[in-house]
Structure 1
Amino acid sequence: MQLKDRETPLVVFEMANNHMGSTDHGLVTIDQFAKVASNYPFDFAFKFQFRQLDSFIHPDFQDRYELKYVKRFSETALNRSDFQIMFNRVRDHGMRVIVTPFDEDSVDVVTKMEVDALKVASCSLTDWPLLERIVQLGKPTIVSTAGGVFEQIDQVVSFFSHRETPIAIMHCVGEYPTSAENLQLGQISQLMKRYPGVSVGYSTHEQPDNFSAASVAFGLGARIFEKHVAVETDQFQKNDYSVTPVQMQAWLGNVFDAYRMLGEAHGRHPISIKEKQDLRQFQRGVFLKSHKSPGSVLRDEDVFFAFPCVDGQLVANDWSKYMQYRLEVSKEEKSPLMSEDLEIVNKREMVYKICQEVKSLLDEAGVVYPGGVELEISHHYGIERFRETGIAMLTVVNREYCKKIIVVLPGQKHPEQFHKQKEETFHVLHGSLKLTLDGEDSHLNVGEATIVEPGTRHAFQTTTGCVLEEISTSHFQDDSFYTDPAITNNLDRKTILKYWFD
Structure 2
Amino acid sequence: MCSGAPIFVIAEAGVNHNGDIETAHRLVDTAAKVGADAVKFQTFTADRIATHSSPLADYQREGVGFEETMQEMLSELVLSPEAHRELKAHAEEAGVVFLSSPFDEDSADFLAELGVSAIKLGSGELTNTPLLRHVAAKGLPVILSTGMGTLEEVREAVRVFAGTRSQVALMHCTSSYPTPPQDANMRVIRTLMDRFALPVGYSDHTEGHVAAVAATALGVCILEKHLTLDRTMKGPDHRASADPDSFADYVEKVREAERCMGSGEKQPVMAEFAVMSASRKSIVAARDISKGSVLTSEMLTAKRPGTGISPAKMNEIIGRRASVDIPEDTLISESMIDTDA
State TM-score, norm by structure 1: 0.57
List aligned pairs for 1:271-420, cutoff 5 A: 271-274=269-272, 277-278=275-276, 280-287=278-285, 291=291, 305-310=300-305, 312-318=307-313, 330-333=323-326, 336-338=331-333
In structure 1, distance between residues paired with 2:115 and 2:304 = 66
- 1:397-441 superposed Cα distances (whole Å, 9 cap, x missing partner): xxxxxxxxxxxxxxxxxxxxxxxxxxxxxxxxxxxxxxxxxxxxx
- 1:36-73 superposed Cα distances (whole Å, 9 cap, x missing partner): 21xxxxx6111121113454455x669x9964321221
Q: CA deviation at 1:150?
A: 0.9
Identity %: 25
Contact conserved, 1:145 with 1:153, CA < 8 A, in 2? yes
List aligned pairs for 1:92-131, cutoff 5 A: 92-131=93-132
List aligned pairs for 1:162-201, cutoff 5 A: 162-195=163-196, 197-201=197-201
Give the unaligned 5+ runs of structure 2. 57-65
| Corresponding position: 1:50 with 2:49 | no
Q: CA deviation at 1:127?
A: 0.9
State the SS of the aligned residue for 2:239.
Answer: coil
Residues 1:305 and 1:284: Cα distance change in structure 2 (over 3 Å): farther
- Letter in structure 2 aligned against 1:23: I
State the SS of the aligned residue for 1:314.
Answer: coil
Contact conserved, 1:171 with 1:200, CA < 8 A, in 2? yes
State the SS of the aligned residue for 1:189.
Answer: helix
Q: CA deviation at 1:177?
A: 1.8
In structure 1, distance between residues paired with 2:299 and 2:121 = 67
The match for 1:214 is 212
In structure 2, distance between residues paired with 1:172 and 1:271 = 36
Q: CA deviation at 1:77?
A: 1.3
The match for 1:152 is 153
The match for 1:379 is none
Contact conserved, 1:19 with 1:76, CA < 8 A, in 2? yes
State the SS of the aligned residue for 1:111.
Answer: helix
Residues 1:186 and 1:234: Cα distance change in structure 2 (over 3 Å): closer
The match for 2:8 is 10
The match for 2:62 is none
- Letter in structure 2 aligned against 1:315: S
The match for 2:229 is 231
State the SS of the aligned residue for 1:26.
Answer: helix
Contact conserved, 1:286 with 1:315, CA < 8 A, in 2? no
Contact conserved, 1:284 with 1:305, CA < 8 A, in 2? no
Contact conserved, 1:99 with 1:119, CA < 8 A, in 2? yes
Q: CA deviation at 1:281?
A: 3.0
- 1:2-40 superposed Cα distances (whole Å, 9 cap, x missing partner): 33x434111111111112222211111111231121xxx
Contact conserved, 2:282 with 2:307, CA < 8 A, in 1? no
Which has the larger displacement, 172-181 or 299-308?
A: 299-308
| Corresponding position: 1:245 with 2:244 | yes
Residues 1:273 and 1:28: Cα distance change in structure 2 (over 3 Å): closer
The match for 1:203 is 203
State TM-score, norm by structure 2: 0.81
- Letter in structure 1 aligned against 2:200: V
Higher strand share: 1
- Letter in structure 1 aligned against 2:97: R
Contact conserved, 2:168 with 2:199, CA < 8 A, in 1? yes
Contact conserved, 1:36 with 1:245, CA < 8 A, in 2? yes
Q: Which gives a bigger RCO, structure 1 or 2 (Cα 8 Å, sep 6+)?
A: 2
List aligned pairs for 1:411-450, cutoff 5 A: none
Q: How many residues are matched?
A: 325
Contact conserved, 1:172 with 1:202, CA < 8 A, in 2? yes
Over aligned residues, Cα RMSD in angstroms? 3.6
- Letter in structure 2 aligned against 1:200: V
Q: CA deviation at 1:311?
A: 6.3
Contact conserved, 1:144 with 1:203, CA < 8 A, in 2? yes
Residues 1:172 and 1:340: Cα distance change in structure 2 (over 3 Å): farther
Higher helix share: 2
- 1:95-137 superposed Cα distances (whole Å, 9 cap, x missing partner): 1122211111111101211211111111101211101111112
- 1:195-252 superposed Cα distances (whole Å, 9 cap, x missing partner): 3x21111111123xx3322112222222311111111399866622011102212322
Larger Rg: 1
